[in-house]
A and B are shown apart, each in its own frame.
Chain A
């Protein structure tokens, strides 16, 4: 007979998919929830196992478990647990109301022990329920009905439910809750639609409520606020008019002053400016220059004050006034760079500068050879700057007194007097 599986390696574990027929013996012996995975992975094809009555692993488990469980005892236990749980809840509520701090330990012990049990129990049933709900024809194994005589039936007043019924109840409750939530959400959506909220509105909802634009909430107050605003506006207008007036007055006044007075005022103004500049803290030697940055913008007066404060010359903690006392490695402008990777020995520009200050080393090669050229062929630039070329190359000197220049010696005033040009060919 050919091997059942076409794969060469018969011992390879099989893939799991739901609904797959598995004959897993391991699952029967263990109670854990992971038996599914284990069952599928622990498949042993070679060993022919007795086929169970059901082909579903969970049911197989259930069948095995059922054989072990004594129903009556189980029912009684379940009932007892239920009653105890209810009692515990009532106690907890009472406890909260009275704000008593009871023994937490006892409660915890009981609770944890019971929770584990009920948890596992619930999960088993949950899985069982889900598979059963998936199938169209539930192939569940009903527990074998135990006959209770009439007398016994009447005795049993507490409604005891079997596992499945408990699970069903749990499920029903959960479904109800889920339904309620769903209902709420649907109602909310419907209300939103009814209120006319469109798609582009969704970001407006929460924030818009903070600002209330309802009118006539307090007419007095609103009126008063409006008055304040109106007065401020009027004040602003008046101030503008006044300052314009002042400007005009100032201009008039200055016009009326003589020139000297104007100069005096200008000098005063410049002096005050200079004082302000000098009064500002000077940058200490090798002090780091903290620039405000180009993109700060002026807001209100407070911010302006903050932004315009003068921090040059001010010290911070650990700032060494006299950097020459420091070792040369620490004599740098920006102390934040000490100890950081990639720090060079660069100190500051002036000490590293190899040239003369202001000497940019820019040389015009053309002008270098000009000294060889005749005077006429040199470029004009230098000579122009020096004051004059040609006849203007020399300053006009003092007029040499000549005899015939005096008033008595002058015979002819009508003729131009050409003697005053004194040419010194030196």
Chain B
């Protein structure tokens, strides 16, 4: 993407010749008022000019919160500005996947997840984003007034379920059940898969045993992708 001093060409609808997302200029995925606020903000003008996929990482690692528009003057958050920049750059699939899969910076991961949700096809969205429902790191979200605590998995869940996230109307995603019926996707296997089966089995058998103790102690996996792992099911060991 040419980094011209005047980015009006990108925002101008006529004669856009770049990559099309959902058949249109990717910048149009953001609404007009939001676009205006972003382009007029200091952060965009100073820090987001002339970024490419690599230098965007530098900015992204400095991110401290996610969020949409805040304040009385509807100031865009830096997260939003960088997302806008990503839309402008439309980096390649591999790059975005790399952003998403790197472990170290959670805000960069959130940014990549946001981009994927906006731009990719439903099947890919579900397949790519669902593993990150196991990432329980904390995120700081900037609401209209003040801050809120949220988690990466909560954020990804919002992206997959809600209509509006971070001041953007997300493109309508067909629900997962629909895709399953069309055989496009497999039913979701939760990272809690095995324990879930145990809980179900318990419920059905009507046992009153308490499994919660064993569930919590064994899971010493650090933050990140929690795969199903073997654990000792010590339910049979009762008190002495």
**Complex CA–CA separation, A226 to B146 (angstroms):** 24
Stretch at the interface among B31-39, B50-58, B184-192: B184-192
Other-chain contact of A213, B139, B192, B215 (Cβ < 8 Å): B139
Kindly supply a per-residue 1/0 record for chain A positions 184-222, scoring 1 wherever the CB is within 8 Å of any chain B CB and 0 otherwise.
000000000000101110011001101111111001101
B196 within 8 A of A: yes
Please state if A219 and B215 are interface contacts (CB–CB under 8 Å): no
Kindly state the separation between the CA atoms of A210 and B133 in the bound complex, as whole angstroms.
25
Q: How far is the CB of B73 from chain A (nearest CB, A)?
A: 10
- Is the beta-carbon distance between A225 and B136 smaller than 8 angstroms? yes
Contact flags (1/0) for A219-236 with B, using CB distance below 8 Å?
110111111011101100
Whole-angstrom CA separation of A210 from B85 in the bound complex: 29
**What secondary structure prevails in chain B residues at the interface with A?**
mixed
Task: Say whether A234 contacts B192, CB under 8 Å.
Answer: yes
Query: Is B136's CB under 8 angstroms from A226's CB?
Result: yes
Are B215 and A227 neighbours in the complex by a CB distance under 8 Å?
A: yes
B76 to chain A, nearest CB (A): 10
Chain B residues with a Cβ closer than 8 Å to the other chain, count:
40
A215 to B219, CA, bound (A): 16
CA distance in complex: A210, B220 (Å): 28
What distance in Å separates the Cβ of A41 from its nearest Cβ neighbour in chain B? 51
Q: Mark A222-258, 1 if CB is under 8 A from B, else 0.
A: 1111110111011001001100100000000000000
Q: How distant is B82 from chain A, measured CB to nearest CB, in Å?
A: 14
Identify B140's interface contact among A208, A222, A224, A231, CB under 8 A: A208
B223 beta carbon closer than 8 Å to chain A? yes
Query: Are B133 and A211 in contact, with the CB atoms below 8 A?
Result: no
Option from B75, B151, B177, B219 in Cβ contact (under 8 Å) with A241: B177
Question: What is the bound-complex CA distance between A216 and B219, given in angstroms?
Answer: 14
B149 nearest CB neighbor, chain A only: A211
Fill in one digit per residue for B36-47: 1 if any A CB lies within 8 Å of its CB, else 0. Answer: 000001110010
A219 to B65, CA, bound (A): 21
Q: Is the CB of A215 within 8 A of B71?
A: no
**CB atoms of A213 and B140 under 8 A apart:** yes
B97 at interface, CB cutoff 8 A: no
Q: Scan B95-109; emit 1 where CB is below 8 A from any A CB, else 0.
A: 000000000001000
Q: Is the CB of B147 within 8 A of A230?
A: no
Given contacts A208-B147, A220-B216, A230-B192, contact A240 B177 (CB under 8 A): yes
Residues of B194-227 contacting chain A, CB below 8 A: 196, 215-216, 219-223
CA distance A226 to B137 in the complex (A): 9
Q: Which of A207, A223, A229, A241 has the most CB of B within 10 A?
A: A223
What residues of chain A lie closer than 8 Å to B106, measured between beta carbons?
215
Q: Could you tell me the distance between the alpha carbons of A233 and B46 in the complex, rounded to whole angstroms?
A: 41
B199 to chain A, nearest CB (A): 8
B231 at the A/B interface (Cβ < 8 Å)?
no
Contacts of A214 in B (CB 8 A): 138
B64 at the interface (CB under 8 A from A): yes
**Which residues in chain B, 136-179, are within 8 Å of chain A measured between CB atoms?**
136-140, 146-149, 151, 153-154, 157, 175-177
Cβ A208 vs Cβ B65 within 8 A: yes
Bound-state CA distance A231–B215 (Å) is: 13
Known contacts: A208-B64, A219-B222, A222-B223. The answer to whether A230 contacts B190 by CB under 8 A is yes
Chain A residues, CB < 8 A from B75? 200
Residue of A nearest to B135 (CB): A226
* A-chain residues with CB within 8 Å of residue B176 when the two chains form the complex: 237
Q: Are A222 and B147 neighbours in the complex by a CB distance under 8 Å? A: no
Interface residues of B in 60-83 (CB under 8 A from A): 62, 64-65, 71, 75
Residues on the A chain within 8 Å of B136, using CB: 222-223, 225-226, 229
Please report the C-alpha to C-alpha distance between residue A207 and residue B151 in the assembled complex, in whole angstroms: 19
Instruction: Assess the B138–A223 pair: CB atoms within 8 A.
Output: no
CB of B17, distance to nearest CB on chain A (Å): 32
Q: How far is the CA of A308 from the CA of B61 in the complex (A)?
A: 47
Q: What are 23 A-B contacts defined by CB distance under 8 Å? A: A198-B43, A200-B42, A204-B64, A207-B146, A208-B140, A211-B149, A213-B64, A213-B139, A215-B138, A215-B223, A219-B223, A222-B136, A223-B136, A226-B134, A226-B136, A226-B151, A227-B216, A229-B151, A229-B153, A230-B134, A230-B191, A233-B157, A237-B188
Interface, chain B (partner A; CB < 8 A): 41-43, 46, 62, 64-65, 71, 75, 106, 133-134, 136-140, 146-149, 151, 153-154, 157, 175-177, 188, 190-192, 196, 215-216, 219-223
Known interface pairs A211-B147, A215-B223; 11 further A-B residue pairs with C-beta atoms within 8 A, sorted by A's residue number? A200-B41, A207-B146, A214-B138, A220-B216, A224-B216, A227-B215, A229-B151, A230-B153, A230-B191, A234-B190, A237-B188
